[in-house]
Structure 1
Amino acid sequence: MEGIGTDGVSETSPMAKWKNDFSRVFQHYLDRSTPHMLHRWIGTGVVTMIYILRVYCVQGFYVVSYGLGIYILNLLIGFLSPKIDPELEALDGASLPTKDSDEFKPFIRRLPEFRFWYSITKAFLVAFMLTFFSLLDVPVFWPILLIYWIVLFFLTMKRQIQHMIKHKYVPFDIGKQRYSKNSEKPSSSRD
């Protein structure tokens, strides 16, 4: 009988080999794109414009766009939220520093910028592909979906901003900290 008693070496199918090779090459280019934040976001902007142009030309797929908007809103909340929620941390006894003598804890995002970018780009590409299936072009009155999404966005952002104010954190780097010779505290300035 063939295949029994062999050394355990199995031949991989050409499709599995191609998938493995493609995965390696894709990961290589993904890793190389990591430090080029501006170029990555410009590429995502181009993909976004292509998607918007497709939806505009077809005059449909508003439910797909609404789902995409909800997904992006969810990603944005993860991007703006700290990795460790101060409200849950307070229950454990540890909390954010409130005095100068307390330990400094830098802001660490729940969803890092690279994963945020990658997820948004992938979402726009998937949504673009979904616009080629007429089954998903559900007829809806799109202004209602748009108004509902805007209300949802403002309520969610209001809650997030209140959380930021309450726990005194800013999820953005305003500028690079520079140290002057005369003072011990860092001064913030833009490059």
Structure 2
Amino acid sequence: MDAPEPDTPFAAVTAQTSKYGRIFQAYLDKSTPFVTYRWAGTATVFVLFALRILLAQGWYIVAYSLGIYLLNLFLAFISPKFDPSLEQDEGMEDGTSGLPTKEEEEFRPFVRRLPEFKFWYSTTKAISLSFVCSWFSIFDLQVFWPVLVLYWLILLFLTMRRQIQHMIKYRYVPFTIGKARYQNK
């Protein structure tokens, strides 16, 4: 397909949307170091969404879908980028594995499958989209919500148990709680 000529309305729309895309990306880039504020904003949007679901007494499928998606994101966030079980079975090309398994092996830092910023950004987009969907009656399917809650809790329990067993087996901790931090003076 040929590129649009500069005088067409399509070219003007494309130029305008790319301009707004660059502005949005600049704001995203500026927000990167403010982890606490970003997550506080996301938590606020989530509370608004939860209040919307509770007060409207509907859109349980939307909330359930959001819960499944957020669980999937969280699992990717706490998983290592390189799965040690696959590396142990197949072995890497250079003969090293992603995580140390013995005390005398070299320390390798934990690298997440889903980085924190992408986790935050995807979570915020999903909650915002769910909030918008909760204002359209087409997404308000009639379901017996306690079954959805029970099924989600079972899914949460089973997947987290499997993930924790994986973390214990391959001895990695995806969080840096208790790690010494050094400040510049």
Q: Which residue of 1 aligns with 2:42?
A: 44
List structure 1 segments (4+ residues) > 4 angstroms apart after TM superposition.
none
> With CA pairs under 8 Å and 6+ residues apart, which has the higher RCO, 1 or 2?
2
TM-score (norm 2): 0.87
* Aligned-partner Cα distance in 2 for 1:32–1:175: 28
Answering whether residue 138 of structure 2 is matched by residue 142 of structure 1, we say: no
Larger Rg: 1
Determine helix, strand or coil for the equivalent of 2:180: strand
Answering whether residue 25 of structure 2 is matched by residue 27 of structure 1, we say: yes
* Aligned-partner Cα distance in 2 for 1:21–1:154: 45
* Aligned-partner Cα distance in 1 for 2:30–2:61: 35
Give the C-alpha shift of residue 99 in structure 1. Answer: 3.2
For the structure 1 residues 140 and 28, does the alpha-carbon distance in structure 2 shift closer, same or farther, using more than 3 Å as the test?
same
* Aligned-partner Cα distance in 1 for 2:14–2:54: 38
Q: Partner letter of residue 169 of structure 1?
A: Y
Q: Which residue of 1 aligns with 2:70?
A: 72
Q: CA RMSD in A?
A: 1.7
Give the C-alpha shift of residue 176 in structure 1. Answer: 3.6
Q: 1:10 aligned to 2, 6, 27, which one?
A: 6
Q: 1:129 aligned to 126, 132, 141, which one?
A: 132
Q: Partner letter of residue 6 of structure 2?
A: S
Taking the TM superposition and a 5 Å limit, the aligned residue runs for 1:160-171 are 160-171=163-174
* Alignment deviations for residues 47-106 of structure 1 (CA, whole Å, 9 cap, x no partner): 001111111221100001100000000001000100000011112153332334312111
Unaligned runs of 5+ in 2: none
Q: Is the 8 A contact 2:101 2:170 kept in 1?
A: no
What count of residue pairs does the alignment treat as equivalent? 172
TM-score (norm 1): 0.85
Q: Which residue of 2 aligns with 1:109?
A: 112
Q: Partner letter of residue 94 of structure 1?
A: T
